[in-house]
Structure formats: C-alpha cells, structure tokens
A and B are shown apart, each in its own frame.
Chain A
Amino acid sequence: ELKVEQNPLFLSMQEGKNYTIYCNYSTTSDRLYWYRQDPGKSLESLFVLLSNGAVKQEGRLMASLDTKARLSTLHITAAVHDLSATYFCAVDLGTGNQFYFGTGTSLTVIP
C-alpha cells in the first residue's frame, strides 16, 4: 500500500522566515503534485513535478522532486501571511488520475 507522509503536520512561522515542507512516499513514482487548500475550500494546484530533479518556482514557493529518494520538498521563502493554508502533496502511480495524498501540512504565518 502506498504511503505518503508529510512533515511537519503543523507549522507556525513568522513573516519573513524561510522553511521547508517534506513529502516522502513509499513506492516508485515520477509524478508528484502540490496543492493548497484554504479552510472550507477546494484544492488549488500549485506545482506539477513530472521527472527526477524537477524544480518549479512560483513567487515565494519552490518545489522539487527527487524520485530516487522518493522525496519532494516545498520551500517557502520570506513567508507572508497570505501563505497561511494547508498544503498537500499527491503522488500519481502512473496508472491514471488516481492520486494518493499526503497527510497535509497546516501552515500559519504570524505577522
């Protein structure tokens, strides 16, 4: 059974600080996605990582994928309050649109 684990589960950080969220998965895959979810809302796509070594950046967020280590990271640079949300990574085993989501990381950015 595929397991997708994120850490930390909860993250409270001050504005302006940097931090990294980690996503580990238990089986081979070269397709990994990051989503953001605001309270009571649906999932918003952030990054699509489709190969080993893929790196994507958007604003203060940067995601990377190491398929050999089965690890993806979401790096936050100079956090701002608007980044407060829950972040999920999701792994696609390649059999179709059957995503396995991580446990989620609830991020709170404190002014």
Chain B
Amino acid sequence: DAGVTQSPTHLIKTRGQHVTLRCSPISGHKSVSWYQQVLGQGPQFIFQYYEKEERGRGNFPDRFSARQFPNYSSELNVNALLLGDSALYLCASSPRFSEQYFGPGTRLTVT
C-alpha cells in the first residue's frame, strides 16, 4: 500500500512569495494534519482536517492556510513568506483520531 505522499520534495522561494504544498493521505484515511519542523526542533502542529473540515489550528499566523479536498488530499498555503518559514513541512494521515502516519515531508527554503 502506498504511504502518505507529499509534493514537492524540495522548494526554494524568495521572501514575500507564496507557496503551496500538497499531500495525499493513505487510502481510506480521512484525517490529515500538517506540521512544521524547524531544524533541530520537534514538529509543531499547524492544522488538522477531518472530512474536509478544519478541526484544529495551531499557533501560526493567518499567512498559513489549508484545505482538504473531497478525495481527502490536502494543500497547505503560506503567503508572504519569511525567512523563518524555512523548515520541513510534514503531512500526516490517520483513519480517524488515532495513530498518525507521516509523509516524507517538503523541505522549504526561503531566501
């Protein structure tokens, strides 16, 4: 079975630009969560979606937004990029509210 997939793998953007990251959950999983992992730190929760509805939001500015599509895939959008947004962005999927399975991540570099 295919695991969680994310695209792109790597991305380089300039300050002020916008970025869209994509995630496809494991087949049958309806919950998708997004995390930001800055180098040397633990992942920080950004958003959680279940059945296309936002179920939780972490302590991130409004520049961060997300959505979940009818096929349960998800997008994370970040506007007006800052240098501090450089991180590994992880997507995780779950059948419902239980163990999460993480994708390989998208490494975003903001210059």
**Are A100 and B55 neighbours in the complex by a CB distance under 8 Å?**
no
**Are A97 and B31 neighbours in the complex by a CB distance under 8 Å?**
yes
Contact with A along B33-46 (1 / 0, CB 8 A): 10100000111110
**Are B43 and A96 neighbours in the complex by a CB distance under 8 Å?**
no
Q: Which residue on B lies nearest to A98, using beta carbons?
A: B56
Residues of A near B72 (CB, < 8 A) are none
- Known interface pairs A41-B104, A96-B56; A103-B31 also in contact (CB < 8 Å): no
Per the CB 8 Å criterion, the residue count for chain B at the interface is 25
What's the minimum C-beta distance from B3 to chain A, rounded to whole angstroms? 9
**Are A43 and B31 neighbours in the complex by a CB distance under 8 Å?**
no
Q: Interface with A: B14-22, B62-70, B74-82, B93-101, which one?
A: B93-101
**Are B90 and A45 neighbours in the complex by a CB distance under 8 Å?**
no
Residues of A near B94 (CB, < 8 A) are 97
Per the CB 8 Å criterion, the residue count for chain A at the interface is 23
- Known interface pairs A98-B45, A99-B45, A100-B45; A45-B56 also in contact (CB < 8 Å): no
What's the minimum C-beta distance from A63 to chain B, rounded to whole angstroms? 13
**Are A101 and B97 neighbours in the complex by a CB distance under 8 Å?**
no
Instruction: Tell which of B55, B58, B102 touches A42, judged by Cβ atoms closer than 8 Å.
Output: B102
List 18 additional A-B contacts (Cβ < 8 Å) besides A97-B100, A104-B41: A42-B103, A44-B102, A45-B99, A45-B100, A45-B101, A48-B98, A88-B42, A88-B43, A92-B97, A96-B48, A96-B56, A96-B97, A97-B92, A98-B33, A98-B48, A98-B56, A99-B43, A101-B35
Query: Which B positions have Cβ atoms within 8 angstroms of A?
Result: 31, 33, 35, 41-45, 48, 50, 55-56, 58, 90, 92, 94, 97-105
